[in-house]
A and B are shown apart, each in its own frame.
Chain A
Amino acid sequence: MPRVRRNTPRPPARSAPDRRFVRGEAARATATDPSAARAASPQDVGYEAINGAYRVIDEYLRQGQKVAGELWLPGTDGRPGIADVPRVVERFMQSAGDLGAAWLDLFAAGVTPASGKPDATGTAGPFRVGRRADSPTSGSPAAAPVASAVPLVVSTARPVDVSVDASGPVESWSLGAVAGARGSAATGVSARLAPGPDGRAVLTVKVAATAKRGTFTATITRPDAEGPAGVVTIRVR
């Protein structure tokens, strides 16, 4: 019987990634440099430079991932399930983003420390700002000033952005029903404009945990204005 020659696979000639991919303009520049004539050798400076650079950046990125992976809530064994990590990180980033956005809103509204403002009784971070709003009704209330003159009380179980864009004296405003896109129902989202303890109008926005994501609006009208005088926009995230 004739003997069959077996094709034995050759072992790989290298054990590390080949990153000698200097090409394009840089390759031409290297090729024209006589001192770079040994570029094809694995021992070449360029080869070592590239491998060293990848080593450094990979190590840096791994450390970044390790830090991100440590942003978890304690689980039964002290670590979250793999599927939980992205969600926890996302929630963390969401909270950080909301906090930062709130600070930017305050800066943009020209908020300053309350000293010299005897009627300022609300709080936001280290600052005392705005006027005291109506007593919170439920949930996690937070009083914050808005660019308009109306005090705002937000009671919400969801991350929300609330903005008021309207003209004229607040006392003359009337607030319509809150509606979703194209007039859809705003389940779990409400807004009310009513006098506070000092008789001044206070805008109260409530968002329940069951509210759907989306943008909801309530129209502001004034008896002396033709058409809408403004709008309250509530964005549930």
Chain B
Amino acid sequence: MKITVAGLGYVGLSNAILLSRQHEVTAIDITAARVADVNAGRSPIVDAECSDYLASGALNLRATVDPHTAYAGAEIVIIATPTNYDAETHAFDTSSIESVIAAVTAINPDALMVIKSTVPVGYVASLKARTGCANILFSPEFLREGRALYDNLHPSRIVVGEVSARGERIAEMFRAAAIKTDVPVLLTHSTEAEAIKLFANTYLALRVTFFNELDTIAMADGLDAREMIETLCADPRVGDHYNNPSFGYGGYCLPKDSKQLLANFGSVPQQMMRAIVEGNDARKAALARAILARQPRRVGVHRLVMKQGSDNFRQSAVQDIIALLDDAGVEMVVYEPAWTEDTALGHRVERDLRSFGDACDVIIANRMTPDLVPFGPKVFTRDLFGQN
């Protein structure tokens, strides 16, 4: 089957690789460098499995910047372009999706378009009504950054937002592309599928916030958070995962998805949705207060990335802590080997860990790493378990 994937971010790239193990796949992106990377067998994102598969040369995959080359003759177009959350309109910016749809409709109107980008609840139904185009369905992705291809090869479930024969065909295409067998498949209505994505990520945001609040309380009252979390999570109803205190949930998905869902609620009475969004800000404020209570002369910021093994700076929680410390007039130095410029967020970037550590009296780190051990009590972290 001829498949085109629009967008070479981690969702698009991992889907392109996944499907090109069995199908003829063309990927399209507006960034020429990403296209060149893929055609040269290099991964434009940090993802071990993506790099391995691209380097293997065993994929039926090529990339282009040209819409005609990409869309002509494709039976299926997977849309995986970015939909950033717009804080002013309180909604995802879906314009990139609509540009792809316009191009596909003009070049190859018979292609079936499958939206993988995260969209507001109710988006596809209103889009179909607005454009009159019926060849669109939504299928949410459930990928972790840095493990995108792995999660595509071993999906927790496949959800397709259309209860129809072609919905079944799309589900079967993804199921057949996975390595894992016995993957549950769920065909739902389109709005329900959109809601699944946002409610799943917002639940994870709730979980992170719950354990962060436990930690904030423990910190304020001198309780041992580790003992409490280990005890709480030995209960199988709670489960021992996603419970390591942090500077707040961050990354590309959780902050924007929880805000989008809160906006989607509109006038529907709720308290949890707002608490999940506000709880993340309250956590950062509590941590900033705890850092300031140490009366630091100069704070060192250890890493700007959200997770170990990720190259993603977007929406990392530490950036908001930096902003809060900025407001308090604290001097800061940043240690981030993956940063190419001399300053980050208005602060000097230091690439030598030793001189970075010596220059600061408090080092803040979302995650504890072995390289921080020599700095002992200077390190301010809430990481209890040394893992993402």
A, B in one complex: no
